[in-house]
């Protein structure tokens, strides 16, 4: 082997053993700011309820930013209001509480990394002027279901509802709830009616939730699902609506709807009795004795319309009725032995709203009884006249006898 070849092999071996290692060492120094696993940026996802001063991540940077072996220098160029650096262990730390519901959905942090490189065959001083690198940290904020749905009006609603509305009628009431969480399951609201036992005028175990329905649970729309009858329900009662989001865990709130029922004119007048019995109070009076109670009718609804009365029926021509109070009187003392009267009660504003009752009259002073009574009276009067005349005559005869006796005594003398 020639001398030249030996020299070439020696230099090649030296380069492979020393030159390559030094070049690799130089490259390592050169790339101290690169991320491990050849990453270009750092991507993080954190929940919005993460605590202040929490460690978000440990920066996977090759270099050492602190201590005797420090070979890089780190500076935050952007996002320093949200995060800070702990150079001792490369930790990225949250500086303040965050809330995605305020509109903060992500944080972009820019970190400058400056390698402190020691060149071969030069002074041992570090140089800060070589190979600086910017590292992007993208932080996505994950929404946490930390806001329950909230109703407007502090969850207190009031409606005036007419009775007898058709089943399926939509009630004009806006009871929409709002959830301040971000769009998605955490703010997707489901509505339902809660069974309640609250009522001001009925038994506490009465439930009114079955009177209404919410066909689409994700729409705040209330419909009538059963008959609502003013006469069979309290004038005021409560129902509860619950709004629940679809987050984990699910959060909810409730609203109270006070229902004020409005009575409509759908009922006829009501009599105190369907059949009355009548007779004269005495022979000379025009008033009648009514049983079982006086004739009286009132509005079947709570509207309290004025009620008027009208009289008809067999032999009604002998009687008259007061159209405002329903009192029946006779027109004459010469009455039939019986009469079947019909009393019609009707609303003053709507005559078609009416009802009837029957009055059965029995004459307790018939014509024969009246004639017999008159004969008795006349006979008694005649007896009194005869008796008085007899007494007067007896008295006169007595006085006359006395006068004659006095005259006879005077004649003897």
pLDDT, position 374: 60
Measured in Å, how far apart are the chain's first and last C-alpha atoms?
233
- Which strands make up the sheet holding 83-86, listed edge to edge? 55-58, 91-94, 83-86
pLDDT, position 269: 93
The DSSP secondary-structure symbol of 165 reads: P
Helices then strands, counting H and E runs in the chain, come out as 3, 25
Query: pLDDT tens, 160-219?
Result: 999 999 999 999 999 999 999 989 999 999 999 998 655 444 444 467 889 999 999 999
Query: pLDDT tens, 334-350?
Result: 889 899 999 999 999 88
Q: Which residues of 358-375 are buried (b: 16+ CB within 10 A; e: fewer)?
A: ebebebebeeeeeeeeee
Whether the pLDDT of residue 298 is over 50: the answer is: yes
Name the residue among 51, 53, 45, 248 with its Cα closest to residue 144: 248
Task: Read off the pLDDT band of 92 (50, 70, 90).
Answer: very high
The DSSP secondary-structure symbol of 102 reads: G
- What lies within 8 Å, CB to CB, of 258 at 6+ separation is 156, 157, 158, 159, 236, 237, 238
Q: Indicate the range of 12-26, 169-183, 184-198, 358-372 predicted with least confidence.
A: 12-26
Whether the pLDDT of residue 96 is over 70: the answer is: yes
- What lies within 8 Å, CB to CB, of 276 at 6+ separation is 290, 291, 292, 295, 343, 357, 358, 359, 360
The DSSP secondary-structure symbol of 98 reads: -
pLDDT, position 364: 78
109-126 mean pLDDT: 68
Whether the pLDDT of residue 125 is over 80: the answer is: no
CA distances from 32 to 125, 158, 165, 267 (A): 17, 70, 79, 93
Element (H, E) at 354: strand 354-362
Distance CA 101, CA 183 (A): 10
pLDDT, position 370: 53
Task: Read off the pLDDT band of 20 (50, 70, 90).
Answer: very low
Q: Copy the structure tokens of residue 17.
A: 């053993």
Name the residue among 314, 312, 311 with its Cα closest to residue 336: 314
Q: CB of 64 within 8 A of CB of 43?
A: no
pLDDT, position 391: 78
Cα torsion 58, 64, 66, 69: sign = positive
User: Please, what is the average pLDDT of the chain?
Assistant: 84
At residue 358, φ and ψ (nearest 5 deg) are -110, 140
């Amino acid at each position: 082997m020639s001398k030249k070849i030996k020299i070439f092999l020696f230099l090649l071996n030296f380069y492979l053993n020393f030159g390559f290692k030094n070049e690799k060492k130089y490259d390592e120094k050169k790339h101290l700011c690169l991320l491990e696993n050849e990453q270009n940026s750092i991507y993080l996802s954190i929940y919005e309820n993460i605590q202040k001063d929490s460690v978000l991540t440990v920066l996977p940077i090759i270099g050492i930013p602190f201590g005797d072996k420090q070979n890089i220098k780190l500076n935050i160029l952007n996002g320093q209001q949200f995060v800070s650096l702990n150079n001792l262990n490369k930790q990225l730390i949250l500086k303040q509480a965050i809330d995605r519901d305020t509109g903060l959905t992500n944080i972009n942090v820019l970190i400058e990394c400056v390698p402190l490189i020691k060149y071969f065959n030069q002074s041992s001083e570090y140089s800060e002027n070589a190979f600086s690198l910017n590292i992007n940290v993208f932080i996505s904020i994950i929404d946490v279901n930390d806001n329950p749905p909230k109703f407007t009006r502090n969850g207190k609603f009031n409606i005036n509802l007419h009775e007898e509305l058709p089943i399926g009628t939509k009630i004009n009431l806006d009871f929409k709830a709002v959830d301040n969480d971000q769009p998605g399951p955490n703010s997707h609201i489901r509505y339902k009616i809660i069974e309640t036992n609250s009522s001001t005028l009925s038994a506490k175990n009465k439930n009114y939730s079955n009177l209404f329905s919410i066909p689409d649970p994700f729409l705040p729309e209330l419909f009538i699902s059963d008959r609502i009858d003013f006469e069979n329900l309290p004038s005021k009662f409560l129902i509860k609506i619950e709004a629940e989001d679809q987050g984990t865990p699910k959060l909810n709130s409730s609203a109270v709807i006070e229902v004020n029922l409005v009575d409509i004119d759908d009922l006829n007048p009501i009599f105190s009795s369907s059949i009355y019995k009548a007779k004269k109070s005495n022979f000379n009076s025009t008033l009648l004795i009514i049983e079982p109670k006086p004739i009286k009718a009132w509005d079947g609804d709570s509207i309290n319309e004025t009620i008027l009365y009208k009289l008809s029926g067999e032999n009604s021509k002998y009687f008259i009725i007061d159209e405002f109070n329903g009192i029946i009187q006779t027109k004459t003392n010469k009455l039939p032995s019986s009469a079947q009267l019909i009393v019609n009660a009707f609303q003053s504003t709507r005559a078609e709203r009416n009802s009837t009752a029957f009055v059965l009259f029995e004459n307790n002073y018939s014509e024969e009884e009246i004639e017999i009574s008159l004969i008795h009276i006349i006979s008694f009067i005649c007896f009194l006249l005869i008796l008085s005349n007899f007494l007067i005559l007896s008295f006169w005869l007595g006085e006359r006898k006395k006068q004659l006796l006095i005259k006879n005594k005077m004649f003897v003398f």
